[in-house]
Structure 1
Amino acid sequence: MSSDCWSNSTCSANSMERELSGEMEGQGTLKLVFTVVSAVMVGLVMFSFGCSVEIQKLWSHLRRPWGIAVGLLCQFGLMPVTAYLLAIGFSLKPFQAIAVLIMGCCPGGTISNVLTFWVDGDMDLSVSMTTCSTVAALGMMPLCLYVYTRSWNLTQSLTVPYQSIGITLVSLVVPVAFGVYVNYRWPKQAKVILKVGAIVGGILLLVVAVTGVVLAKGWNTDVTLLIISFIFPLVGHVTGFLLAFLTHQSWQRCRTISIETGAQNIQLCVAMLQLSFPAEYLVQLFNFALAYGLFQVLHGLLIVAAYQAYKRRQKNKHRRQHPDCPEVNYEKNPRETSAFLEEGDGAAVTLRLPGPEQQHRVAE
């Protein structure tokens, strides 16, 4: 760029940079408030969900981490490949393609734990997957980005936000650990905390959705990136569910892995975009990250609504067929292969009486 352009106050590049700076400064207070409030809410939500985690079940996932392994394969296998194919298929510019790849390489976010709870998923597996994917991101994010970005000539180096990953890991592990301890020592109180956390988690989803719309207001919109931000989470949910099903995971695990795959950690993506790209690119890239976060919340709420409608229909069907019997839901899990089970394990029927605490497993 010539020296005249740098000195000219009417230069389009300088005007764009000043416009972006003005917009971001004007929204700085809102972002700060949102960051503080969301951090507190996330801590409370993860603490409450930790109250639903049982040490024995958590240890079983870590001792036989087949569900976690499938989830990690979805997170750092399917999602980066999907991001690469979307970037190629839509003929994105290099900086746009890299932003989509960064999103695909991010670990799972806290929103996945909230959605998993509302679809009666495996909370022990969900918390384990979120934690393990965050730890794995320390090595898998640079590796995936190195492999898939070789198709484009980059003029800037990509910076992995290791500090943000560490903060995310601490903010996840510490509240969950306290929740697990509370559930171990005071199980009755833990059930009350869990119910409160579920409500706070629902509010958190609404706050994220509304704030995403507010922060994106007035920003330049790239239609192609918006289309990708709409498609990407859906592809993650569908492919995650299919891979879990093909590896003979239970229906409960299939729902959990599906949600964990499509829900990415938006904060890490935004942090990496800020560290890696100049101001003139951030206008579009921030908009893409916010749009992805908004759409993954909306998709998740639709999944929850569909599941709750199906669950209510099954309950009504049972009442009509057995009006004199207590309300019991039978959820039959598909038989898992011997590679995923210890000797003596098999398909099971879960008897669900009213209340999450009244669950029994009856061997077939």
Structure 2
Amino acid sequence: MLLASAAPDIDHLQIELGDGFQLVTKIVIAVFLFGIALDTRLEDFRAVARRPGVIAAGLAAQYVVMPALTVLLTLVLDVRGSVAIGMILVVCCPAGNLSNILTHRARGDVALSISMTAASNVVAVAVTPVAVAAWCALNPAADALLRDVHLDPWDMVVDVALLIGVPFAAGLLVGWRWPAASAWARRFVEPAALVLLLLIIVGGLAGQLNTLVTYLGAVAVAIVAQNLVSLLVGYGTGRAVRLPEPGVRAMTFELGVRNTGLALVLALGFFDDLGGVAFVAALWGLWDVITGLAVATWWRRRPVPTRPADAAPPGSPPRRPRRSPRGPGAGR
């Protein structure tokens, strides 16, 4: 174990929310995912069809390679069950528009980044709940906790479809029918919803700060290691499918920068009796921003190679012009 057994157990953390808070949380969740959809356009899905092999490789790395490595990491570090669930939950969530912003800053392939984000968010509605249950079952401590909370992955699929699918579809519709209004709204909706979620987390855990401080070091070590592995897997996936340098940078952020806002949403909605899950997601989000900005800034100072080895393979579709990620907000 990373901590002495006499220490307060992070698995016993609870986020105490009354009925009113639970209703507010559900509303905030819907607004948060509505905001994500406002930043997605139908043309992003059409772009997926132009590079199906690359998109498929990215999704396979996200939902198979990264969760498998995360399970192995939780076993090597011997983290507590709720920490393992939080780590697996985060890595099974798609990327948010922060990955698009970082890709643009790093002089990467923004079109690929946006297409990957759109595809992974749609896939996440059905895949994330099943993936979380399946991968957690491979960690004995996490599996035991899931049995205690009686998590049924199929019930979670239905709940996530309603919780994520409906607001996401509504956001796509608004963005399609009223683009001017959605362009204005997306500047505020997603960041504001994320701030409210963080306030709910802080309020729910306020009385248990001693336990959080006790476990901060252990959780931080696991998160730093997982974040590093995620970035390396993203970089390796881009190289494995022989993407040009801008595409490698985009793939690095798509797999290395997670949608921790969505992870917080799911932690509050399904693991409210396991406050350690939300603690992991919140801390992951903070470290995610720090490392993402550091890598993007480092790449920005390095020119994009133009040697023939980085040219697009013969027969590949023409590259779309780069476009900046929509909206100035860095919502996740």
Normalising by structure 1, we get a TM-score of 0.63
Task: Give the aligned length.
Answer: 296
CA contact 1:212–1:290 (8 Å) conserved in 2: yes
**1:101-156 Cα shifts (integer Å, max 9, x gaps):** 32233265878414224324613212322443452344433432333218998896
1:57, CA displacement in angstroms? 1.3
Partner of 1:320: none
Rounded to whole Å, the distance in 1 between the matches of 2:269 and 2:324 is 44
Question: After the TM superposition, which residues 52-131 of structure 1 pair with which residues of structure 2 at under 5 Å, given as runs?
Answer: 54-60=44-50, 65-86=56-77, 88=78, 97-106=80-89, 112-119=95-102, 120=104, 122-131=113-122
Q: Are residues 227 and 151 of structure 1, via their aligned partners in 2, closer, same or farther at CA, if it must alter by over 3 Å?
A: same
Structure 1 unpaired stretches of 5+: 1-19, 275-281, 318-329, 358-364
Does residue 293 in structure 1 map to residue 281 in structure 2? Answer: yes
AA of the residue aligned to 2:26: V
Partner of 2:160: 168
**1:277-332 Cα shifts (integer Å, max 9, x gaps):** xxxxx5xx41x223223212322343465477669x76xx9xxxxxxxxxxxx856
Rounded to whole Å, the distance in 2 between the matches of 1:240 and 1:333 is 26
Structure 2 unpaired stretches of 5+: 1-12, 105-109, 328-332
Partner of 2:127: 136
The 3-state SS of whatever aligns with 2:137 is: helix
**1:158-193 Cα shifts (integer Å, max 9, x gaps):** 63243334222344334444555566x56xx53662
CA contact 2:92–2:131 (8 Å) conserved in 1: no
Task: Give the number of the structure with larger relative contact order, counting CA–CA contacts within 8 Å between residues 6 or more apart.
Answer: 2
Bigger Cα displacement from structure 2, 29-38 vs 102-111: 102-111
Partner of 1:190: 179
AA of the residue aligned to 2:316: D
AA of the residue aligned to 1:166: V
Partner of 1:145: 136
Q: Are residues 123 and 171 of structure 1, via their aligned partners in 2, closer, same or farther at CA, if it must alter by over 3 Å?
A: farther
AA of the residue aligned to 2:101: W
Q: Are residues 145 and 59 of structure 1, via their aligned partners in 2, closer, same or farther at CA, if it must alter by over 3 Å?
A: same
AA of the residue aligned to 2:161: L
Q: Are residues 74 and 198 of structure 1, via their aligned partners in 2, closer, same or farther at CA, if it must alter by over 3 Å?
A: farther
Report the RMSD for the aligned CA atoms in angstroms. 4.4
Q: Are residues 66 and 206 of structure 1, via their aligned partners in 2, closer, same or farther at CA, if it must alter by over 3 Å?
A: same
Partner of 2:36: 46
Q: Are residues 152 and 105 of structure 1, via their aligned partners in 2, closer, same or farther at CA, if it must alter by over 3 Å?
A: closer
CA contact 1:79–1:104 (8 Å) conserved in 2: yes
Does residue 345 in structure 1 map to residue 328 in structure 2? Answer: no
Question: Of the candidates 177, 180, 189, which is equivalent to residue 200 of structure 1?
Answer: 189
CA contact 1:57–1:124 (8 Å) conserved in 2: yes
1:228, CA displacement in angstroms? 3.6
Rounded to whole Å, the distance in 2 between the matches of 1:300 and 1:58 is 26
Percentage identity across paired residues of the two chains: 11
Partner of 2:202: 213
Question: Of the candidates 217, 220, 233, which is equivalent to residue 230 of structure 1?
Answer: 220
Q: Are residues 194 and 146 of structure 1, via their aligned partners in 2, closer, same or farther at CA, if it must alter by over 3 Å?
A: same
1:50, CA displacement in angstroms? 2.4
Structure whose alpha-carbon radius of gyration is higher: 1
Rounded to whole Å, the distance in 2 between the matches of 1:152 and 1:43 is 28
Partner of 2:255: 257
